[in-house]
Amino acid sequence: MFITSLDSQPQKVLIIDDAIQNILFLQSSLSDLASIHFATNGPEGLALCEELKPDLILLDISMPGMDGWEVCTILKDNPLTSDIPVIFITGNEQPEAEQLALEKGAIDFINKPFDPKICRLRVMNQLKLRNQSRVLQQAKQEMTQLVESVPVLITYWDENWNNIFSNDLTGKWFDGFNETSHNKHVTQSLPREVYHRLLSHSEIKHKNSIEFTVSVQSNKQDQHFRVFQSATFNEGVLVGSLVTFVDITDAKKAKQALHSEKERLRVTLQSIGDAVIATDTQGYITFINPIAERMTGWRFKDTPPEKIEDVMLLRDADTKKPLLNPLYLALSEQRTVAMALNSELLSHSHQVYAVEDSAAPIRDEKGEIIGAIMVFHDVSEAMALAMKMSHLANYDQLTDLPNRILLQDRLTVAIQTAARQNHKVATLLLDIDNFKYLNDSIGHLLGDQLICKMARRIQQLLPAAFTLARLGGDEFVILMNEIQSVEAALSLASDLVTAMHQPFMLDDKPYNVSASVGVSVYPDDAKDAEELIRHADVAMYSAKQEGRNRFCFFSGDLEESLLQRHALELKLRHAIENDELIVVYQPKFNLKTKNIVGAEALVRMVDENNQLISPVEFIPIAEDSGLIVPLGNQVLLKACTQAAKWLKEGMPISVSVNVAAAQFADPDLEAIIIEVLNQTQLPPHYLELEITETALMGDINETQTKLSVLKGLGINISIDDFGTGYSSLSYLKKFNVDIMKIDMSFVIDMLNNTHDYEIVKTIILLGQSLSLTLIAEGVETEEQAQALMELGCGIGQGYLYSKPLRKKEFMTFLESATKNPNET
């Protein structure tokens, strides 16, 4: 729709005349020129005019009611009809009438009676003028619409740079530049950056046009424009300037983004740790980054383009045979491909790199392949690290022996092979006897040296086909694969036990150790690797139970015993977690007065039938499983709670609590005792801790410090089971203790066995010399009590007086003993 032709559109003529004969005449004369419409009075003509919007109005002046002058005035005052041309029709030939008609806005004057030719010519000329006016108006509108819609700002300025024209009427190009900018100076219409450039171009006087780029800063963002400035001359004199603006902001940003992306890509490729080589479709190198140059030993700038296979020399790491570069595979198959495994790169400087890589085709915007790119990196260190990590994952760090993971794998393979070949597989689990106590006494550094020396000694006894592994701590496993009979396992187990008898030199001092060995055989004792190890552990535990320093083969009875032990451990753990342990109390008596002077708290478990389980059964399990510390803490709390209750009820009875070696070594022991005493409100002197000799014979200085701290709390310290441990007098005299207990194993036979009697006598004399209170355990007869009193022991406990009692039974017994002390 550009300058639409209006010639084919029918034109309309409206006749307003009260004389019908005039209307008929005009209609007959003009019907071939336009569509003729008429009205016989002024109001009807005005209404019809708004409806038809005619191209020409023939208006009679003299009409009744509303004459032509009034109708014309109304038409010209109405914006909808003011531009419609009006020709007056009148029989008045006075000159002033024609003048008045023109003053009212009419364009012509036709006199009556009508001359058909004159009338026709006048109307035809006015219709042509009307049609041309409409065409020009339509063209102007369309041109304005076109100019306003183009993505270019078009402006025209006079010789003094006042704005004459602009196609931006809304201010979308520049702030403040809109329809109000007409006739304004350029400095008031355009940004400073723009008008400075426009006014500075003096050379425009000598050229028809000039082109430049300008950037405009705004609050939103920087804008960039391509400006075309053309001068208009009249007879050599500058009369104006046409200035057009093209917004190139997006293009400039895209160009900058492309440049930034290319630069970022260049820097990335130059600085990444991977080597990069790009080629064309024939394999000729078009780009190579510094890492690739270093690894290949080839410089891109120093030589003309070469093919990638001449620069990147790939070969198999094992056979050293050349390999096809995967870049050619990527080009031929049009996909990403990886290098063959175990590839290595031989550089031009004769260095060898273990490499991994991938190659991919490069495509243009149409998807056509224009080359390929190879990315590769040195994995030599990674492979070495992987091997190291694999070794760390499968070998013990201290001894460099296979660990549990690698042993499990070898056991599985050995069992599978034995199953196919009808052979046997044996596992020997070796554990150093009493290693924990030895390790604590000599220190962990020497303990680690002992483990390493023992590993070497065991290794010397084994053929190369056997595997020696360390499970951790002081446990070793020997895997004997492809043996024909169990006699080979028996012989090796015997040799292992014997080999341990030779002392180990640690820090220039000899140390004697022994070991216990458990043996399990596939398929006799187990069906898989896990069961084989577990049964060897059962057998080793049995060897320790039988006295250590020996070996033992697995049997079904051992497994049953182990399962029972495991069930008891679960029961013990449950009892501790749910506060279900039972504490019983065995009274201590003054052997002379028969008065109760204290009570020993002893722990018990309850079975499904509410029967008490002896501590002989579960205390060793607690010590082996690490439950002894929470067990001891729970007994301590229960005993102190009960002693505080007795004190509150008027029966001040001190209570003694056994402290295991692990519990004594616990660094939190002091804090736990303080918390229990505060919680139960028991005065400290009513609490006695019974500690075995074994628990005390660790680090002597540390033991002295701990005993002093505990004594500082106000509690009493007792050495329990004296005579059954190390009994080192040089250590004993250094310990700040209050009480010494004589073990029942000496008391029971002291009247029947001279040696036991002398031991009891010696212990009593020793205690007296150290000013210690002496308590004899296991007193069962009056004769024993009398003999102990004669030797100087004043306190005893045992079945002669009472078995261990539950707290209610103890209360009843205590009340009875208080009323009838001589009948106890």
DSSP secondary structure letters along 341-364 = TTEEEE-TTS-EEEEEEEEEEEE-
User: Around Cβ 164, how many Cβ atoms within 10 Å?
Assistant: 13
Question: What length does the chain have?
Answer: 824
Residue type, 333: E
Cα separation, 673 vs 677, in Å, equals: 6
Max Cα separation, the chain?
178
Closest CA relative to residue 120, chosen from 90, 87, 95: 87
Quick one: 589 and 633 in the same domain? yes
User: Around Cβ 546, how many Cβ atoms within 10 Å?
Assistant: 11
Token look-up 């006087």 returns 205
Structure tokens of 657?
A: 């609590």
Range of the domain at 663: 580-823
Token look-up 């035809």 returns 124
In a domain, 1, yes or no: no
Q: Which of 93, 115, 146 is the last residue before a domain boundary? A: 146
Q: Which of 146, 162, 190 is the last residue before a domain boundary? A: 146
Question: What letter would DSSP give residue 611?
Answer: P
Q: In what order do the strands lie in the sheet with 475-483?
A: 467-472, 475-483, 424-432, 515-522, 551-553
pLDDT at 482: 82
Cα separation, 81 vs 72, in Å, equals: 10
**Where does 741-824 have alpha helices with state H?**
744-747, 754-769, 782-791, 807-819
Cis peptide bond N-terminal to 587, omega within 30:
no
pLDDT at 574: 92
How distant, in Å, are the alpha carbons of 67, 397, 459, 465, 533 from that of 393?
118, 9, 21, 22, 20
pLDDT at 242: 87
Cα separation, 563 vs 576, in Å, equals: 20
CATH of the domain at 658: 3.20.20.450
Residue type, 370: I
Whether the Cβ atoms of residue 284 and residue 264 lie closer than 8 Å to each other:
no
Whether the Cβ atoms of residue 539 and residue 558 lie closer than 8 Å to each other:
yes
Quick one: 140 and 165 in the same domain? no
Structure tokens of 106?
A: 């009419």
In a domain, 16, yes or no: yes
CB-count burial class (<10 Å; 0-12, 13-18, 19+) for 12: middle
Quick one: 169 and 75 in the same domain? no
Cα separation, 732 vs 1, in Å, equals: 121
Q: What stretches in the chain show pLDDT beneath 70?
A: 1-9, 92-95, 139-150, 169-171, 175-176, 178-181, 202-207, 219-220, 260-263, 265-271, 302-303, 382-384, 386, 556-559, 562-563, 697-698, 723-731, 818-824
How distant, in Å, are the alpha carbons of 617, 660, 725, 782 from that of 565?
9, 20, 26, 39
Q: Which of 224, 252, 280 is the last residue before a domain boundary? A: 252
In a domain, 267, yes or no: no
Whether the Cβ atoms of residue 474 and residue 500 lie closer than 8 Å to each other:
no
Quick one: 662 and 695 in the same domain? yes
Quick one: 696 and 758 in the same domain? yes
Quick one: 776 and 636 in the same domain? yes
How distant, in Å, are the alpha carbons of 158, 176, 214, 215, 243 from that of 195?
14, 14, 10, 12, 11
Whether the Cβ atoms of residue 711 and residue 732 lie closer than 8 Å to each other:
no
Element spanning 14, H or E: strand 12-16
Cα dihedral value 281, 282, 287, 291, nearest 10: 110
How distant, in Å, are the alpha carbons of 8, 224, 424, 453, 456 from that of 459?
117, 83, 21, 10, 5
**Coil, strand, or helix at residue 655?**
strand
Cα separation, 251 vs 797, in Å, equals: 104
Helix, strand, coil distribution of the chain in percent, nearest 5: 45, 25, 30
Cα separation, 96 vs 277, in Å, equals: 100
In a domain, 562, yes or no: no
How distant, in Å, are the alpha carbons of 24, 26, 86, 112, 399 from that of 115?
14, 10, 18, 8, 136
CATH of the domain at 532: 3.30.70.270
User: Around Cβ 234, how many Cβ atoms within 10 Å?
Assistant: 9
Cα separation, 582 vs 807, in Å, equals: 9
Q: Is the dihedral of CA 804, 806, 807, 809 positive or negative?
A: negative
Cis peptide bond N-terminal to 113, omega within 30:
yes
pLDDT at 779: 95
In a domain, 567, yes or no: no
Element spanning 484, H or E: none
Quick one: 137 and 161 in the same domain? no
pLDDT at 1: 45
Whether the Cβ atoms of residue 658 and residue 690 lie closer than 8 Å to each other:
yes
Cα separation, 467 vs 469, in Å, equals: 6
Whether the Cβ atoms of residue 413 and residue 421 lie closer than 8 Å to each other:
no
pLDDT at 2: 47
Quick one: 362 and 457 in the same domain? no
Closest CA relative to residue 821, chosen from 596, 655, 643, 598: 596
pLDDT at 148: 61
pTM of the model: 0.45
DSSP codes of every residue in 84-143 = S-EEEEES---HHHHHHHHHTT-SEEEESSP-HHHHHHHHHHHHHHHHHHHHHHHHHHHH
Quick one: 227 and 300 in the same domain? no
Structure tokens of 54?
A: 């005619």
Quick one: 294 and 193 in the same domain? no
**Where does 278-403 have alpha helices with state H?**
290-296, 308-311, 326-333, 380-394
How distant, in Å, are the alpha carbons of 595, 693, 739 from that of 794?
11, 21, 12
Domains of the chain: total: 5
Quick one: 132 and 156 in the same domain? no
Cα separation, 607 vs 574, in Å, equals: 12
How far, in whole angstroms, is CA 391 from its chain's centroid? 28
In a domain, 411, yes or no: yes
| Strands 612-613, 596-606: pairing kind | antiparallel
In a domain, 777, yes or no: yes
Token look-up 């990069």 returns 276
Element spanning 648, H or E: helix 628-648
Q: Is the dihedral of CA 406, 410, 411, 416 positive or negative?
A: positive
pLDDT at 99: 75
CATH of the domain at 304: 3.30.450.20
Quick one: 366 and 406 in the same domain? no
**Coil, strand, or helix at residue 11?**
coil
User: Around Cβ 787, how many Cβ atoms within 10 Å?
Assistant: 19
Buried b (16+ CB within 10 A) or exposed e, 266-299: eeebeeeebbbbbbeeebebeebbebbbbbbebe
How far, in whole angstroms, is CA 17 from its chain's centroid? 95
Structure tokens of 612?
A: 């008490």
Element spanning 192, H or E: helix 192-200
- Within 13 Å, how many C-alpha atoms sit on residue 294's CB side? 11
In a domain, 439, yes or no: yes
pLDDT at 95: 66
